[in-house]
Amino acid sequence: MKRVILALTLVLALLSFSACNKNTVPDSDGKPVVDVSSESDIRVGVILSGDAGTDNSYIQSHIQGIEAMRRALGMAEEQIKWVNNVSTEDKESIKSAVEACVADGCKVIFATEKEYAPAMKAAAKKNPEIIFCNALVTSGEEPANYSGYSADMYEAQYLGGIVAASRTKTGIIGYVGYVGEQSLKGINAFALGVERVDPSYKVYLQRVEERFDPEEEGAAAAELFGAGCDVVAQNTFSSAPQLAAAERELWSEGFMTDMTAAAPKAHLQAPVTNWGIYYTKVVKETIEGLWGGYSAKEVDGEIQVVHESNDVKGGLSDGLVALSPVNHNCARGTTAAVNEAVDEFFAGRPIFTGPLYDNAGNEVCPEGEVLTEKDIQSMDWYYRNILTQWAVGGVGPLPLKVPSDGGESSEGNI
C-alpha cells in the first residue's frame, strides 16, 4: 500500500511539474495537448445560435458567462472570438464556425447548442492541441480534448415554486412548459415547491412546442392568466410570459437569466445558470495545464495516468445553478421560506423524497424512499397538483408526450 501511495504521489507530482513548466495537458497517449503561457496569450472561441440582441435567455446566459470569465481572468475583449447566429440546422455553417475558431488560434472553443456537437467532435480529433467543449451533450471518453457540459435546473425550479406559491392570491399558478427530454423533473420540482407552501394550490400547465417561440409563449401565458392564474412561471427562453404578466399587472417568474429588466413590476425571480463558473474553470485550467478528466490509478499492479470523461453537469450545490435575487415584487417572508428549503437541501434532504404521487393518483415513490438519479432524469409523469386539462374557451394544453431526440442530446437538463 505504501508503494502505491508513493507511486501515486510521484505521478501526480510529475503531472504538476509538467503543468507548471510546460502548461500542457497529456492526452490519452501522454502527448501534450495545449500550450498556453498566460491569460494574455490565450484566445477563446464561442459559437452561438444568436447574439447579444436576441431575446433568448439561454443565449444571454452563455454571453453573460463568457463575459464573467473574461473579467475574472483579466482577458481583453479581443481575446474572445464570437461566432454568432450560427444556424443549428445548417451543417456547413456549423463546420465553418468551428473551423473559423481553429484558424483564428483559439485554444479553447465553447459551442452552446447540441446540434454543433458532431462538427466539434470531428474538429477535436483533428486538433488535439485545442480544447473543445459542447453544451447539452455527453462526450464519453474520446477524444481526450473534447467534453460536454450542462446544468441541472430542477433544484432551483423547486425554489421557484416556493416563491410563486408565496405570492399567489388565487392559489392557481400557471406554467408555460416545454415538455421534452428530461424537462419533467423541473416542472415536477416546481410543483413540489408550490405544494410545500400550500398543498391546496394547483399548477396549470400550458405546454408549448418549442423552447423559444415568443408568440407561442406569450399566447400560453395569456391563456393561463385567463384561466385564473395570477403567477405564471416558465421553462422557456423568451420574455413574452413576463410581458404578458406586466400587461395584466400580475406576476411572473423567468428562466435561465434574471428577467427583471423585461418586466420590473411583474418579475419575481428566475432559476439562473452561472456559466461563468464553468467557463472560468475550463480556461484557467487550460492555461495552467490542468484541464481534463485525468487521475492516477493502479492498473494491473502499476500506476498509470488514466483518462476519464471530461463531462461536467452542475447544479445548485456547486453554484452552476442558482436563484436570482428575491426582489420587491415577492411576498413578505419569501426569503426566509427559500432559505429554509436551501438549508434542508444542503443538509442532505433530496427534493424528490416519498411519498410522491402522480396526477392520476398513482404512487411513484413510497414514503421514506428517494427517487434515484436515473428516476429523476427519466420522469414520464406529472406531480399530483399539476393540471394538464381545463376549460378555457374549449382550449387546453396538449396531452403528455415525452419525445426523445436521441443521439448525444441532453437538452432537457436546462
Using the CB atoms, write b or e for 3-32: b if 16+ within 10 Å.
Answer: eeeeeeeebeeebeebbeeebbbbbbeeee
Q: Domain boundary at 314, 344, 364, which?
A: 314
* Rounded CA separation 283/393 (Å): 53
Same domain, 213 and 258: yes
Residues 188 and 288 in one domain: no
CA-to-CA distance for 193 and 337, rounded, in angstroms?
A: 10
One domain for residues 336 and 236: yes
Decide: 124 and 132 in contact? Cβ < 8 Å: yes
Q: Which three cell numbers stand for residue 65?
A: 458567462
Structural contact between residues 157 and 184, judged by C-beta atoms closer than 8 angstroms: no
Residue 353 is assigned to a structural domain of this protein: yes
Instruction: For residues 205-231, give the mean pLDDT.
Output: 96
In this structure, the answer to whether residues 147 and 206 fall within a common structural domain is: no
Q: Are residues 131 and 29 in the same domain?
A: yes
pLDDT single digits (tens) 121-141: 999 999 999 999 999 988 766
- 222 and 338 in a single domain? The answer is yes
Judged by average pLDDT, the poorest of 44-58, 262-276, 321-335, 395-409 is 395-409
Which of 254, 287, 314 is the endpoint of a domain? 314
Q: Give the global pTM.
A: 0.84
Nearest to 123 by CA among 138, 112, 108: 108
DSSP state, residue 400: P
CA separation for the pair 145, 26 (Å, rounded):
9
Q: Is 362 part of a structural domain of the chain?
A: yes
Q: Which backbone phi and psi does 10 adopt, to 5 degrees?
A: -65, -45
- Contact call for residues 102 and 125 (beta carbons, < 8 A): no
Higher pLDDT, 256 or 388: 256
Q: Are residues 176 and 120 in the same domain?
A: no
CATH of the domain at 267: 3.40.50.2300
pLDDT at 401 over 80: no
Considering the domain architecture, whether residues 292 and 190 belong to the same structural domain is answered as: no
Task: Find the length of the chain.
Answer: 414
Q: Do 161 and 41 lie in a common domain?
A: no
Q: Do 267 and 306 have their domain in common?
A: no
Pull the grid cell for residue 5.
Answer: 501511495
21 within a domain of the structure (yes/no): yes
268 and 324 within one domain: yes
Q: Domain for residue 172, yes or no? A: yes
**Residue 409 domain-assigned (yes or no):** no
Question: Could you please report the per-residue DSSP string of 311-334?
Answer: -EEE-TTTTSEEEPPP-TTSPTTH
305 and 249 assigned to the same domain = no
| 35 inside domain | yes
State mean pLDDT over 165-193.
94
In a domain, 203, yes or no: yes
* Residue where a domain terminates, one of 314, 340, 373: 314
> Which range of residues forms the domain containing residue 357?
154-272+320-400
Does the pLDDT of residue 79 top 60, yes or no? yes
Sheet holding 108-111, edge to edge: 80-83, 44-47, 108-111, 131-135, 146-151, 312-314
* Helix, coil or strand: residue 130: coil
Query: CA 26, 29, 31, 36 torsion: positive or negative?
Result: negative
Q: Which residues of 184-218 are buried (b: 16+ CB within 10 A; e: fewer)?
A: bbbbbbbbbbbbbbeeebbbbbbbbeebbbbebbb
pLDDT-wise least confident of 2-6, 46-50, 206-210, 395-399: 2-6
The total domain count for the chain is 2
